[in-house]
């Protein structure tokens, strides 16, 4: 992710295979054309014999924690989990709109991180109307999977059956089915050791059977420490007629204190052999973590070898490293960058966007912004962008939406972008260091820019030296892609859409630069009729293009066996005008605000916003190669030759 196309991950899994014998046994996604429910995905995996995994997270306590958790979702999504779930904390307004609420975190995971997400909702000491309100809100946000729980009352209250409440998990499942039908995939919890509040293990099994009969789709178990406990539970469930999928829950041991805390909450007893192994290393966190990873691998391998275990559910405690190590050792964590990309950009997991398969390239490094600005659309482009004379992009008024907020602290940003900007050349140096990966004058690596939250995309390596040169000359690049002519769709740098296809790209470059460079560029471009250009300024008083305003240009497309040609990325002149407002605003919102008003540094940024232009270039001849570098090198030469000797040409 970052410069150019981001390193994306699938929002949804494979669709129903047309022929059963073509069912994939890999984690390679295909471009979705119709929505599958979570239980349909699970059953499809079971039918194909493909094991899967899912991950659990809990809402953070602080807004900064929410920002970090969303970044974590982006990282783990490349591993291709079938789904993630978010826990419900009754004491923390879980159904509210704060960035730390369970509802908001789950919504962000679905809509902005492209992860099929399951939301826990509990009903303890809650009236039915409140539960219904939570379910309605979840539905409106695109959440379609619910883990229905009785849960614990908030703030240590005593549990009580309310007259207008839902007393148990069974009541919750029944209520969901009565009020919402099959709108939600419903999961329920199973307890291999028996629920601690239930008098007997056998009685708890009967309550689980009641939840299943009420309409539950599948079961995730509470954590356990020995596989024999789960295997007995699995057999006991089958003996009483429970036939829905049962997914074992695993919690990697990651620390002595966290283990004790979890044991206290779950009221489980740690086997003596684990206590004996941990006790000598209880003060060595790294040793305990390594022990937990190895134990997790051994448990998981034995579980996956069982025919009745379709996959694994991991309680991550919001730490992904140990879980990723276990899944990598098992071969479940997706290792193929191209395999994790159904499209060049990350799709949303919201059902209403399931058919969306075309986007403008301008938001390649700010996909969450694009999703936010188009969230009110009733329909989304499918097959082609179309002749849209007025795409209605919502205003990005709140730059502090937590899923758009920078993960870096102000001090870190100043070290990357300059504690003091002495002149415009200092800005050039920041851009150059971002591309090159070299330390800046403060000895710090520039890992992000206002338009690119992450380090440069892998494909940028193909054009890195050219970009370094341009940025050093004041052509400040913020988006690019190299030309590609029939690269395999499995290519680790530019591949997407699964294996067996071919990828094509027109060279694209987008940058800020000064008026003198633009004047020289327009002169040079007269020699290159195959290049489309679009030049705009912040105020909108300059808007120059040689493209048809109402005809988008396809800049990425893929050819796959048995399918129509996919063209998921376009350059749309009208959308570019909406993007330019955001692009210019980021100078001030992300960079300019770091400095005191009227300071020399702030004036440097102000000058760029006032006097620079935003330019995009498309080389339409993807077969011969990329002429954009030649064009811009000539532009730099012309500018350096004539800047002092000739008056600047006025853009009309």
CB 248 within 8 A of CB 309: yes
**Active-site annotation holder among 13, 40, 50, 56:** 56
Q: Which two tokens stand for residue 451?
A: 């338009």
Which one, of 7, 12, 182, 187, lies nearest residue 82 by Cα?
A: 12
| Segments in 26-88 forming alpha helices (H) | 38-48, 63-77
CB 502 within 8 A of CB 488: yes
CB count within 10 Å of CB 254 equals: 22
Q: Which two tokens stand for residue 186?
A: 């419903």
Pairing of strands 613-619, 531-537: antiparallel
C-alpha dihedral, 91 to 95 to 97 to 101, nearest 10°: 50
Contacts of 521 (CB under 8 A, 6+ apart): 513, 533, 615, 631, 632, 635
Distance CA 131, CA 154 (A): 15
Distance CA 420, CA 346 (A): 36
Distance CA 500, CA 563 (A): 11
CB 259 within 8 A of CB 232: no
Distance CA 337, CA 121 (A): 34
CB count within 10 Å of CB 20 equals: 9
Q: Which two tokens stand for residue 486?
A: 């029939």
Whether 356 is a known active-site residue: answer: no
CB 36 within 8 A of CB 12: yes
DSSP string for 470-510:
HHHTT-EEEEEE--EEEEETT-TTT--SSSS-EEEE-EEEE
Give catalytic residue positions.
56
């Amino acid at each position: 992710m970052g410069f150019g196309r981001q390193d994306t991950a699938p929002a949804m899994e494979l669709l129903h295979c047309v022929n059963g014998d073509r069912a994939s046994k890999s984690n390679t996604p295909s471009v979705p054309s119709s929505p599958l429910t979570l239980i349909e995905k699970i059953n499809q995996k079971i039918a194909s014999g493909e094991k899967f995994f899912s991950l659990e997270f809990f809402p953070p306590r602080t807004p900064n924690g929410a920002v970090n958790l969303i970044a974590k979702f982006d990282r783990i999504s490349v591993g291709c989990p079938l789904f993630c779930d978010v826990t419900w904390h009754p004491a923390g307004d879980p159904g509210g709109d704060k960035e730390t609420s369970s509802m908001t975190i789950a919504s962000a995971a679905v809509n902005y991180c492209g992860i099929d997400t399951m939301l826990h909702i509990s009903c303890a000491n809650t009236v039915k109307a409140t539960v219904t309100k939570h379910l309605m809100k979840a539905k409106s946000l695109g959440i379609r999977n619910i883990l229905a729980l009785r849960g614990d009352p908030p703030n240590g209250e005593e549990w009580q059956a309310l007259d207008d409440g839902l007393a148990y998990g069974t009541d919750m499942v029944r209520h969901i089915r009565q009020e919402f039908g099959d709108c939600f995939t419903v999961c329920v919890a199973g307890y291999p050791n028996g629920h601690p509040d239930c008098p007997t293990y056998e009685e708890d099994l009967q309550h689980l059977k009641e939840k299943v009969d009420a309409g539950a789709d599948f079961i995730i178990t509470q954590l356990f420490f020995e596989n024999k406990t789960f295997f007995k539970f699995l057999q006991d469930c089958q003996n009483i007629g429970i036939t829905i999928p049962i997914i074992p829950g695993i919690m990697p041991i990651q620390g002595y204190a966290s283990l004790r805390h979890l044991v206290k909450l779950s009221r489980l007893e740690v086997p003596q052999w684990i206590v004996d192994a941990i006790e000598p290393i209880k003060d060595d966190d790294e040793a305990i973590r390594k022990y937990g990873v190895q134990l997790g691998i051994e448990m998981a391998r034995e579980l996956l070898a069982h025919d009745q275990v379709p996959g694994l559910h991991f309680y991550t405690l919001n730490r992904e490293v140990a879980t990723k190590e276990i899944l990598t050792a098992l071969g479940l964590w997706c290792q193929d960058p191209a395999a994790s990309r159904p499209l060049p950009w990350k799709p949303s997991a919201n059902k209403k966007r399931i058919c969306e398969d075309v986007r403008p390239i301008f938001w390649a490094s700010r996909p969450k912004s694009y999703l936010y600005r188009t969230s009110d659309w009733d329909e989304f482009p499918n097959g082609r962008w179309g002749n849209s004379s007025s795409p209605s992009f919502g205003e990005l008024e709140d730059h502090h939406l937590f899923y758009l907020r920078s993960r870096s602290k102000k001090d870190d940003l100043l070290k990357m972008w300059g504690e003091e900007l002495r002149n415009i050349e200092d800005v050039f140096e920041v851009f150059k260091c971002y591309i090159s990966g070299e330390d800046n004058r403060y000895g710090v690596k520039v890992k992000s820019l206002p338009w690119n939250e992450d380090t440069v995309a892998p494909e940028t390596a193909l054009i890195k030296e050219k970009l370094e040169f341009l940025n050093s000359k004041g052509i400040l690049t913020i988006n690019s892609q190299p030309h590609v002519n029939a690269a395999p769709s499995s290519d680790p740098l530019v591949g997407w859409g699964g294996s067996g296809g071919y990828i094509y790209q027109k060279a694209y470059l987008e940058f800020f630069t000064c008026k003198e460079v633009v004047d020289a560029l327009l002169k040079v471009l007269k020699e290159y009729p195959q290049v489309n250009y679009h030049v705009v300024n912040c105020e909108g008083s300059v808007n120059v293009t040689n493209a048809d305003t109402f005809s988008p240009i396809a800049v990425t497309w893929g050819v796959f066996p048995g399918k129509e040609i996919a063209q998921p990325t376009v350059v749309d002149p009208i959308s570019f005008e909406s993007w330019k407002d955001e692009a210019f605003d980021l100078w001030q919102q992300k960079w300019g605000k770091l400095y005191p008003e009227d300071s020399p540094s702030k004036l440097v940024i102000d000058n760029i916003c006032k006097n620079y232009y935003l330019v995009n270039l498309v080389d339409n001849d993807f077969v011969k190669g990329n002429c954009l570098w030649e064009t811009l090198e000539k532009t730099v030469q012309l500018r350096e030759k004539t800047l002092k000797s000739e008056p600047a040409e006025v853009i009309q």
